Amino acid sequence: MEVTKRERGLLLVMIEIDPTHEDDFNRWYREEHYPERMACPGFLSGKRFLALEGEPKYLAIYELESPAVLESPEYRKIAGPSEWTQRLRPHFVKHIRNVYVEIAP
């Protein structure tokens, strides 16, 4: 399926973090990761969830103007891992990142 710039996108990220680093992970998400994405052109909304059952424990969903937003210079600028991100990544027990395109309104 060919994607055009007018098709809405969705970024889904699921993370299981080593429990000894969970507080730092949540602070990183609130103070750095989420604000950067919400300030990036093309990110329309973001929501975060905690699993009541199953895993990974954390789920974040971002609605995008288009999946092409993830190729933009503005996103590439924030996608490069910060020092804080680099410090946390080795403690991600599981990390799933999927990009979707809307096929029906």
- Dump pLDDT digits (tens) for 24-82: 999 999 999 999 999 999 999 999 999 999 999 999 999 999 999 999 999 999 999 99
pLDDT at 3: 52
Report the C-alpha gap between 32 and 16 in whole angstroms.
18
Segment 84-95 mean pLDDT: 97
Range of the domain at 21: 9-97
pLDDT at 104: 82
Confidence of residue 105 (pLDDT cuts 50, 70, 90): confident
Distances (CA, A) of 64 to 38, 44, 54, 73, 94: 10, 5, 26, 15, 24
- Total domains in the chain come to 1
Pairing of strands 9-17, 92-101: antiparallel
Is there a contact between 89 and 82 (Cβ–Cβ < 8 Å)?
no
19, part of any domain: yes
What is the model's pTM? 0.90
Q: Look up the CATH number of the domain holding residue 67.
A: 3.30.70.100
Is there a contact between 61 and 38 (Cβ–Cβ < 8 Å)?
no
pLDDT at 46: 98
